């Protein structure tokens, strides 16, 4: 079945973890007394970039800034749909300066950036499906921001409530397998969501691939799919098997050092959709 899955070449914006550290705690994964091996983090990150490039994807990079250790998590900086950029306003004061540097990159690349009025953490909580935006709330991005996103893009925005602090961003609990009109589908961990939000996902995606808590805790839901290849944490072994059974090709990439800050493959990957 994997031969029937067609990859689509993507353009990704990333940021090297040159200044990566765990200096504060803003999610359950972060412990400031944790030792971080910056060299290992950079090596793992470079492996991810090489994996993207070897599959034909285009990479752009933002220059990392000293004192902003979480800037590596580029996905949180914005959401880009149809060449339009909706920026970020972080919940944590420690991360708010990151927005300025990403906004400058987008503006220098010729994009206008819409600044949110409400707390909004980019693709961390805003997932473009090809038809509408799935939008997480409960820990970071607010429902008010969901309304702003809908007004800006003119696409339907479907609010989903997250209930487990380990899955504080939507992109830790759900990812899009295929955003084409024909094969549109997702993977998600049901228990990360409120009962009503689970019911919404069941109606929208009756054929979704469901993940276990072990998959989710291994950052298996913080994956990136190009429609055929799924760049996934190797620790999410059971999920990789299920993806293979559904005709996708798992591409394991270990970002375990970055997991110490609560981020993985998708967190490091901002997609620029023209």
- Return the ∠ at Cα 268 (arms to 248 and 180), rounded to 5°: 40
Structure tokens at 25: 């705690």
The catalytic residue among 15, 120, 267, 268 is 267
* Spatial separation of the C-alpha atoms in residues 153 and 41, rounded to whole Å: 35
Q: For residue 259, indicate whether it is catalytic.
A: no
The catalytic residue among 57, 91, 146, 169 is 169
Question: Residues for the chain: how many in total?
Answer: 274
Buried b (16+ CB within 10 A) or exposed e, 232-268: bbebbeebbebbeebebbbbebbbebbbbbbbbbbbb
* Spatial separation of the C-alpha atoms in residues 160 and 76, rounded to whole Å: 17
Q: For residue 267, indicate whether it is catalytic.
A: yes
Q: How distant, in Å, are the alpha carbons of 8, 50, 230 from that of 45?
A: 22, 9, 16
Structure tokens at 138: 């409960």
Q: Which residues are catalytic?
A: 169, 267
């Amino acid at each position: 079945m994997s031969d029937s899955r067609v990859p689509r070449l993507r353009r990704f914006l990333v940021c090297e973890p040159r200044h990566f550290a765990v200096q504060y705690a803003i999610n359950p994964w972060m412990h400031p007394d944790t030792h971080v091996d910056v060299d290992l983090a950079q090596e793992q990150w470079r492996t991810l970039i090489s994996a993207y490039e070897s599959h034909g994807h285009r990479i752009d990079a933002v220059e990392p800034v000293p004192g902003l250790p979480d800037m590596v998590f580029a996905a949180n900086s914005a959401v880009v749909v149809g060449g339009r950029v909706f920026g970020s306003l972080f919940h944590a004061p420690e991360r708010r300066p990151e927005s300025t540097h990403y906004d400058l990159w987008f503006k220098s690349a010729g994009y206008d950036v819409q600044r949110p009025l409400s707390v909004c953490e980019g693709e961390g909580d805003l997932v473009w499906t090809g038809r509408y935006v799935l939008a997480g709330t409960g820990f970071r991005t607010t429902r008010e921001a969901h309304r702003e996103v809908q007004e800006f893009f003119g696409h339907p925005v479907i609010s989903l409530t997250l209930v487990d602090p380990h899955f504080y961003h939507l992109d830790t609990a759900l990812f899009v397998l295929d955003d084409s009109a024909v094969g549109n589908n997702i993977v998600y961990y049901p228990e990360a969501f409120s009962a009503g939000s689970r019911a919404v996902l069941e109606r929208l995606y009756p054929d979704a691939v469901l993940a276990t808590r072990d998959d989710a805790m291994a950052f298996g839901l913080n994956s990136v799919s190009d429609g055929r290849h799924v760049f996934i944490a190797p620790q999410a072994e059971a999920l990789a098997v299920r993806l293979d059974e559904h005709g996708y090709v798992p591409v394991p990439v270990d970002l375990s050092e970055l997991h110490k800050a609560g981020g993985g493959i998708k967190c490091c990957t901002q997609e620029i959709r023209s």
